[in-house]
């Protein structure tokens, strides 16, 4: 006996396409998905932040490779834009790209960022020209690379916040934060290692990771957030970009000399950029208060944790960003040459000697992320900033020509402090945000951080130039004349802008040969050799540099202490926040069109179609917990529905997403009376009031959908089938309705979610039949389901001589004697009769003489019945 399998259903291409584009729930993607998301976004953040700093130590090798002297006045702009172009672009674009992620899909925007990043890395690595053309080419593609980095930075945090439950977000965001901050440290080391080998490797190293990350993200990441089909705030984008770029450009050029001044803060161009930029940013703020869908959701700053957390992050970034440049100058320009390293070797060893800071950060950041999930982040972030401030104080006390192990220990403390701060701060900021604002909120946070990095360069350089300008001229003059340089030549060199000396130290250059020019030929050979050697210039500027360090480090100490205060005022997490499980992001009261609706608005339904709140099910639960079940009128659980808990003031207290069986839980709720709002795609919203006391509360809902499907179930012969089980499932495979066919085979499925549903008829011993339809509220969708019987008879007919018989007639009659099927044998003597209903049948075969056999198909399966005409009219049983 053979069992015939039902034919496979073919998925409609449109259905397949919509399922590919649809929003996935984290439950559907499985428990491994969150780790895939973490791995990929961590790689993305690493690549973005490594490339924000990888050129800093490699700049001498890059400029040597393209044959440009960056210390010439005409080339200073190339130096500044090579340093800061990437950061300026990411600072300007990251918040807008976060908003695009909310609107069009975070994973889609993230994938685009990886692709742009990989392509730009290729074009940077294949640079073939020299001189100014090469510099402009590199700067342009660094800007494009920054655009890709902005896409990655803007959406990675929001992707993780969607993928991880609240109790694991601190760990996930902490690891991602480690990548974000550690990448900027690792970039220094990698640039120092690769630059001396071949400067193009500085860019080529990103290509394989960029290509791999792009393909991996496209294949494995899925959008788990509802998209807002809102309008883009173009005026806000333009004014924000123009204003911020103007301010950052003004700061960039403010550290260059102007006229007779050591810096350019009095330059009309710089003043125009700064004042004009601030005015445009004020206009931007006014615009944001008036548009329907602002780029900067200024209302988020009403959230205490978000405001103070961002203030702390901005201040910490000011201290951290400037520290990188100070350490590079200190090591490359002074300490390493003083200890026997050639200027060609200093980039590599500067990166190596800064490793303790990276190690400290890599140790503390993941640990603090785990601890944050248990005790909250306020104390850790505060202690981290205070420890960082102490490390800056120790660096200020440290002599310029220091003992390395003392220097390494201080860097380790600095890295530990930053690590203790970063993960808790990131978790507190992201967890404080409403789910539908996480993309824009994360983008705003990244904007503050990246802007602070650029601002810190201007602040630290300005402070150091101010410190240098007090003592550098006299040190240069006395040092040069002491080694035979004529007084007038020494005096002329001493009046040169300190920024040139600062850039020379930053690049690990000895500018004395270039500054003295032909004067060197007038000096004794030993004096000329000493002046252009590795020790004269570092020793000469060490004391003036110490004065500049004092100003810079005290600035860092002050901002870190203020950041610690801001971290403390973030406050403790609200009780409800700790219990909110992961949820996808979007407009909970949005219909299928995805239009944004205020989640605090009361749901409006007609009396006839109003959702049913099963108040009888309301009762005590676990302390501080609201739980229940969401079902359709047919009793099927509503998976993926969002339950929003609001207080008496309309503010959100907590949210949850219903599990596959329709159950939900919101824990950590304080005693009081709350409003529960239930929203699910395709269903009408439901609301109920619940009181939580010491025992908690249970609240069930029966949600109504507007979709209706009517139809009939028939057999293959057209006869109606009574009592057929008819199920309706949504695009996720969740059962959303069930019924049975009446005596005439007809059925009606109502209260289905509006949209695409699959209706399936199940009859015992028959092949099920499924049809996908669009369930609408205006008129019911009509379907006809035909269930084919699975009974099959097949066999071989042979004659008296044992030979197969061709064209022998085979008829099948039911138990009432009615003939139900007739066929003939083929050239091999075989026959087959399908679609037989369960029951007993008589098989009659005739050619020369008739032969009869009886068969029982009550199981609805197939039966093999061979007929031998030599047996005459004898009846045998087969099953």
Rounded to whole angstroms, how far apart are CA atoms 557 and 549?
A: 12
Specify the 3-state DSSP secondary structure of 496: coil
Identify the pLDDT of residue 403.
Answer: 93
Class of domain 31-232+293-476+547-568: mainly alpha
| Domain edges within the chain | 31-232+293-476+547-568, 238-292, 587-700, 707-788, 791-878
Identify the pLDDT of residue 559.
Answer: 92
Q: Determine the angle formed by the axes of helices 33-65 and 131-163, rounding to 10 degrees.
A: 170
Q: Which CATH number fits domain 707-788: 3.90.1640.30, 2.60.40.10, 1.10.10.10, 2.60.40.1120?
A: 2.60.40.1120
Rounded to whole angstroms, how far apart are CA atoms 26 and 640?
A: 10
**Among the listed residues 477, 436, 326, 333, the one whose alpha carbon sits nearest the alpha carbon of residue 392:** 326
Cβ atoms of 773 and 842 closer than 8 Å = no
Identify the pLDDT of residue 397.
Answer: 92
Rounded to whole angstroms, how far apart are CA atoms 100 and 90?
A: 15
Cβ atoms of 436 and 587 closer than 8 Å = yes
Rounded to whole angstroms, how far apart are CA atoms 104 and 223?
A: 10
Specify the 3-state DSSP secondary structure of 236: helix
Rounded to whole angstroms, how far apart are CA atoms 492 and 573?
A: 61
What are the residues facing 94 on neighbouring strands? none
CATH 2.60.40.10, domain 587-700, yes or no: yes
Specify the 3-state DSSP secondary structure of 577: helix
What is the value of pTM for the model shown?
0.58
The angle subtended at Cα 830 by Cα 828 and Cα 832, nearest 5°, is 145
Low-confidence spans in the chain with pLDDT less than 70: 1-30, 73, 166-167, 169-170, 174, 224-231, 292-293, 434-440, 442-443, 508-510, 572-624, 648-651, 693-695, 765, 776-779, 790, 847-849, 857-865, 867-879
Identify the pLDDT of residue 463.
Answer: 79
Cβ atoms of 657 and 636 closer than 8 Å = no
Rounded to whole angstroms, how far apart are CA atoms 103 and 95?
A: 13
End-to-end CA distance of the chain: 7
Rounded to whole angstroms, how far apart are CA atoms 450 and 244?
A: 11
Specify the 3-state DSSP secondary structure of 523: coil
Identify the pLDDT of residue 508.
Answer: 66
The angle subtended at Cα 297 by Cα 292 and Cα 300, nearest 5°, is 135
Rounded to whole angstroms, how far apart are CA atoms 730 and 749?
A: 13
Specify the 3-state DSSP secondary structure of 62: helix
Q: Which helix (H) or strand (E) holds 169?
A: helix 166-194
Cβ atoms of 519 and 489 closer than 8 Å = yes
Specify the 3-state DSSP secondary structure of 506: helix
CA dihedral of 128, 130, 136, 138, whole degrees rounded to 10: 40
Outline where 517-606 has alpha helix (H): 525-531, 536-568, 575-579
Structure tokens at 480: 């040069």
Rounded to whole angstroms, how far apart are CA atoms 353 and 314?
A: 27
Rounded to whole angstroms, how far apart are CA atoms 272 and 254?
A: 11
Identify the pLDDT of residue 576.
Answer: 37
**Among the listed residues 561, 599, 568, 595, the one whose alpha carbon sits nearest the alpha carbon of residue 583:** 599
Give the tens place of pLDDT for each residue, 198-247: 999 999 999 999 999 999 988 888 876 555 555 677 888 889 888 888 88
**Beta-carbon-side half-sphere exposure of residue 632 (alpha carbons within 13 Å):** 29
Q: Can 31-232+293-476+547-568 and 587-700 be said to share one CATH topology? A: no
Identify the pLDDT of residue 140.
Answer: 94
Rounded to whole angstroms, how far apart are CA atoms 300 and 628?
A: 31
Identify the pLDDT of residue 606.
Answer: 32
Identify the pLDDT of residue 127.
Answer: 93
Structure tokens at 660: 């596959």
Cβ atoms of 628 and 637 closer than 8 Å = no
Specify the 3-state DSSP secondary structure of 782: strand
Identify the pLDDT of residue 648.
Answer: 66
Identify the pLDDT of residue 607.
Answer: 32
**Among the listed residues 717, 714, 719, 710, the one whose alpha carbon sits nearest the alpha carbon of residue 737:** 710
Length of the chain: 879
Phi, psi of 153 (to 5 degrees): -65, -40
Ramachandran bin of 547, using left for φ above 0, alpha for ψ from -120 to 50, beta for the remaining angles:
alpha
Class of domain 791-878: mainly beta
Query: Residue 203 contacts by C-beta under 8 Å, 6 or more apart in sequence?
Result: 121, 124, 125, 127
State how beta strands 725-729 and 735-740 pair: antiparallel
């Amino acid at each position: 006996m053979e069992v015939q399998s039902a034919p496979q259903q073919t998925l409609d291409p449109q259905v397949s396409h919509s399922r590919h584009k649809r929003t996935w729930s984290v439950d559907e993607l499985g428990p491994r998905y969150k780790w895939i998301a973490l791995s990929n976004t961590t790689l993305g953040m690493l690549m973005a932040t490594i490339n924000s700093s990888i050129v800093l130590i490699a700049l001498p090798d890059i400029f040597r490779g393209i044959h440009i002297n960056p210390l010439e006045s005409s080339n200073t702009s190339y130096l500044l834009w090579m340093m800061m172009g990437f950061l300026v672009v990411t600072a300007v674009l990251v918040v807008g790209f976060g908003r695009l992620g909310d609107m069009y899909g975070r994973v889609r925007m993230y994938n685009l960022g990886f692709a742009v990043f990989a392509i730009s890395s290729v074009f940077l690595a294949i640079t073939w020209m020299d001189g100014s053309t090469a510099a402009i080419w590199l700067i342009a593609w660094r800007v494009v690379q920054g655009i890709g980095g902005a896409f990655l930075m803007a959406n990675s945090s929001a992707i993780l916040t969607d993928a991880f439950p609240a109790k694991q977000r601190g760990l996930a965001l902490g690891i991602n934060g480690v990548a974000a901050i550690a990448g900027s440290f690792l970039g220094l080391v990698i640039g120092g290692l690769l630059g001396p080998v071949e400067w193009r490797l500085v860019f080529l190293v990103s290509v394989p990771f960029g290509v791999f990350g792009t393909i991996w993200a496209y294949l494995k990441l899925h959008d788990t957030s509802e998209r807002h089909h809102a309008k883009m705030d173009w005026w806000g984008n333009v004014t924000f970009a123009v204003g911020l770029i103007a301010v950052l450009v003004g700061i960039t050029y403010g550290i260059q000399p102007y006229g007779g001044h050591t810096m350019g803060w009095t330059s009309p161009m710089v003043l125009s950029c700064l004042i004009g930029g601030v005015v445009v940013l004020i206009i931007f703020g006014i615009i944001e208060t008036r548009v329907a869908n602002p780029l900067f959701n200024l209302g988020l700053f009403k959230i205490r944790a978000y405001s103070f957390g961002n203030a702390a992050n901005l201040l910490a970034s000011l201290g951290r960003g400037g520290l990188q440049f100070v350490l590079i100058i200190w090591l490359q320009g002074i300490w390493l040459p003083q200890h026997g390293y050639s200027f060609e070797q200093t980039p590599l060893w500067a990166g190596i000697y800064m490793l303790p800071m990276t190690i400290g950060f890599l140790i503390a950041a993941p640990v603090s992320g785990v601890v944050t999930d248990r005790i909250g982040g306020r104390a850790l972030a505060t202690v981290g900033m205070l420890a960082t401030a102490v490390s800056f104080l120790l660096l200020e006390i440290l002599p310029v020509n220091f003992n390395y192990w003392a220097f390494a220990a201080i860097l380790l403390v600095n890295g530990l402090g930053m690590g203790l701060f970063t993960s808790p701060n990131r978790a507190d900021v992201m967890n404080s945000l409403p789910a539908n604002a996480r993309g824009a909120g994360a983008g705003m946070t990244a904007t503050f951080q990246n802007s602070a990095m650029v601002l810190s360069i201007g602040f630290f350089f300005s402070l150091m130039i101010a410190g240098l300008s007090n003592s550098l001229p006299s040190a240069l003059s006395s040092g040069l004349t002491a080694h035979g340089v004529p007084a007038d030549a020494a005096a002329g060199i001493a009046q040169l802008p300190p920024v040139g000396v600062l850039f020379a130290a930053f690049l690990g250059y000895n500018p004395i040969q270039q500054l003295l020019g032909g004067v060197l030929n007038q000096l004794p050979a030993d004096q000329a050799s000493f002046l252009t050697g590795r020790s004269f210039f570092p020793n000469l500027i060490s004391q003036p540099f110490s004065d500049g360090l004092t100003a810079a480090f005290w600035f860092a100490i002050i901002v870190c202490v203020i950041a610690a205060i801001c971290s403390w005022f973030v406050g403790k997490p609200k009780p409800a926040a700790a219990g909110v499980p992961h949820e996808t992001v979007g407009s909970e009261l949005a219909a299928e069109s995805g239009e944004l609706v205020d989640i605090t608005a009361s749901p409006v339904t007609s009396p006839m179609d109003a959702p049913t709140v099963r108040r009888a099910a309301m009762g005590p639960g676990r302390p501080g917990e609201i739980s229940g079940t969401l079902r359709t009128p047919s009793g099927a659980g509503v998976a993926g529905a969002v339950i929003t808990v609001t207080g008496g003031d309309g503010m959100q207290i907590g949210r949850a997403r219903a599990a596959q069986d329709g159950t939900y839980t919101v824990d950590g709720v304080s005693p009081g009376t709350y409003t529960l709002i239930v929203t699910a795609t395709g269903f009408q919203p439901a609301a109920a009031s619940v009181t939580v006391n010491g025992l908690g509360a249970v609240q069930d809902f029966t949600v109504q959908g507007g979709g209706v499907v009517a139809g009939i179930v028939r057999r293959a012969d057209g006869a109606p089938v009574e009592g057929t089980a008819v199920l309706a499932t949504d695009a996720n495979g969740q059962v959303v309705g069930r019924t049975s066919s009446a005596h005439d085979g007809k059925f009606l499925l109502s209260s289905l979610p509006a949209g695409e549903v699959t209706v399936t008829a199940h009859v015992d011993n028959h092949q099920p039949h499924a049809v996908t339809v669009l369930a609408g509220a205006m008129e019911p969708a009509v379907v006809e389901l035909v269930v084919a019987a699975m009974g099959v008879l097949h066999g071989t007919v042979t004659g008296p001589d044992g030979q197969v018989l061709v064209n022998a007639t085979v008829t099948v009659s039911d138990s009432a004697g009615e003939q139900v099927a007739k066929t003939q044998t083929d050239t091999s003597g075989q026959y087959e009769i399908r679609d037989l209903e369960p029951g007993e049948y008589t098989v009659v075969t005739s050619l020369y003489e008739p032969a009869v056999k009886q068969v029982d198909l009550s199981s609805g399966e197939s039966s093999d019945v061979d007929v031998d005409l030599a047996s005459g009219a004898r009846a045998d049983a087969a099953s």
